[in-house]
Structure 1
Amino acid sequence: MLKRIFDFLLSLFLLLIFSPLFVLVALAIMLTDGLPLFFIQKRAGKNGTFFRMYKFRTMSVRKEAADGSFDAGDVSRVTTIGRLLRKSKLDELPQLFNVLKGEMSFIGPRPEVEKWVQTYPERWSVVLSVKPGITDNASLEFRNEEEILMAAEDKEGTYRNEILPRKLDLYEDYVRNNSFFGDLLIIVRTFWAVLFK
C-alpha cells in the first residue's frame, strides 16, 4: 500500500512538472516524423495480465509491433529524433501514465513482450508476482543493451541466451529482496545514470 501511494503521488507530481517537456517532445516528433506520437505495445504485467505500455514513438510505424512483435537489436527503423529520445531515456516518460493507472510501478522488473515471456515461462511466473516497473537493477546493468545487440552476430540468440537470463536473475533477486528503501536507492542510481553517464 505504501508503494502504491508513493507511485501514485510521484507519478502525478512528475506528470505536472514535466508537462512542458511532454509538449516539446510531442512537437519534435510531430514536426520531424509525423503521427502517431506514441508507441503503444502489449506487455506482460503482474500475474501475467497484459496491458498497453506507453512510450514516445522512436521508430517508423510498423503495425505488428503494437501486438507484441520485438526484433532484438533492430535499430533500422529508429528515427533521428528517436535516437535522441532513446539516448536521454525521454521516450520512457509516457510510462508515468502506466504508473498512475496502477499497471506499473516506478521500480520493478521491466515488462516484457509475450514472445520472451514464453521463452522462460517458469522464471517469469516468479517475476510477474510483482508489478513491473520503469526502472530496476537490470535496466541499469543493461543501459547499453542496444549497443550490445547491434554488435552481436546473432542478435536474437544473444538476447535469448545471454541477456534475458541475466535480467531474469536480477528480476528474481528483486522479487526476493525488494524493499521501499531499496526502491529509493534504485531511483537515485537511475537519475544518476541518466544525468551523468
Structure 2
Amino acid sequence: MNGQGFLGLPVAETAQTWLRRAADILLAGAALFLLAPLMLLITIAIWLESGQPTLFCQTRLGQGGRRFRMYKFRKFHADAGQAGCPLTLEQDPRMTQVGRLLMKTKLDELPQFWNVIKGDMAIVGPRPESLAFADCFHNGWEELLRYKPGLVGPCQIIFRNEAAAFPKGADVNEFYRTVVFPLKARIDLDYFRSRSLASDVVIMIRSFLAICGWASVASAGLRQVERRA
C-alpha cells in the first residue's frame, strides 16, 4: 500500500473529496426540490416585471481555470445584456425592482444549485470569478483555481454587501483588482488550505445567518475594504 487514492491523492483526502461530492449532490438536490415553489414564484415575478429570459447565464472560471456557464436569476433589465461594468453596484441603474430584492436576499443565486448537481460548483468553495477579472490570477493567486468554486464560502459571507464597498467616484474595476480581489483571495486561501468537513458545515451555518442579516458577519468585508482603501 502506498497510501495513494484516486488521482494519486492521499487516501484521507480522496475520501473527503468523495464525501464532499456526495454531500453536494444530496444537499443541492434537496434544495432544488424543497425550493421549487419559491423558484417558480421568482420566475413569475421576473417575467411579469421585465419579461424573458428569467435566468442570467455567464461564463465563469472554474476549477483548474476551466470555463463553465453559471446560472442566476436575472436581476438586470432584459435589454442590459452582458456589456458594461462586470460588477453589480449599489443603486445600479440596470437593476429591476425584483432584481433589487433578489440581490438583497441572495435569492438570485438559487439556480446555482443546478451548477452543483452538474459538478461545475460545490456547496462550499471560492466564488467563481468572471472572465473580466481572469487577469487577477497571478503572483500566487492562481492557487485559488485549485479549488472547485462554491455557492457559499468565507468571502461570500464576509463580502455579502460587497456593492457597498466601492468608493464613490472610484474606478470600480481597478479598485476591485487592486483592493477587493487580493483581500478576498487571501481570505479564501487561508481557509481552503486547511479546510475540513466540520469547518465546511460551519461555513454553511454562518452563510445562512449572514443571509438572515447577522450584521457582525455581513458588514465585516466592508470594514476590511475601508481599512485598505
> Which of 3, 14, 28 is equivalent to 1:11?
28
Question: Scaled by the length of structure 2, what TM-score is found?
Answer: 0.80
Q: Deviations over 1:93-130 (max 9, x none)?
A: 00000001111001110000122121233434210111
Q: Which runs of no fewer than 5 residues in structure 1 stay unpaired?
A: none
The aligned runs of 1:36-185 (5 Å cut-off) are 36-61=53-78, 62-65=80-83, 70-71=86-87, 73=89, 75-149=92-166, 151=168, 153-185=170-202
Following superposition, which runs of at least 4 residues in structure 1 exceed 4 angstroms of deviation?
Answer: none
- Contact conserved, 2:136 with 2:181, CA < 8 A, in 1? no
Give the structure 2 partner of residue 33 of structure 1. 50
Give the structure 1 partner of residue 223 of structure 2. none
**Deviation at residue 150 of structure 1 after TM alignment:** 6.0
Q: Distance in 2 between matches of 1:190 and 1:71?
A: 21
Aligned length: 195
Percent identity for Structure 1 against Structure 2: 38
Q: Which runs of no fewer than 5 residues in structure 2 stay unpaired?
A: 1-17, 215-229
Give the structure 2 partner of residue 193 of structure 1. 210
- Contact conserved, 1:72 with 1:159, CA < 8 A, in 2? no
Give the structure 1 partner of residue 7 of structure 2. none
Structure showing greater Rg: 2
Q: Deviations over 1:18-49 (max 9, x none)?
A: 00001000000000111100010000000110
Question: Scaled by the length of structure 1, what TM-score is found?
Answer: 0.92
**Deviation at residue 172 of structure 1 after TM alignment:** 1.2
Query: Does the residue aligned with 1:43 lie in a helix, a strand or coil?
Result: strand
- Contact conserved, 1:47 with 1:125, CA < 8 A, in 2? no
**Deviation at residue 69 of structure 1 after TM alignment:** 6.7
* Higher-RCO chain (CA-CA 8 Å, sequence separation at least 6): 1
Q: Aligned AA for 2:63?
A: K
Q: Aligned AA for 2:86?
A: F
Q: Distance in 1 between matches of 2:64 and 2:134?
A: 12
Residues 42 and 124 (structure 1 numbering): CA distance in 2 closer, same or farther, change over 3 Å? farther
RMSD, aligned α-carbons: 1.8
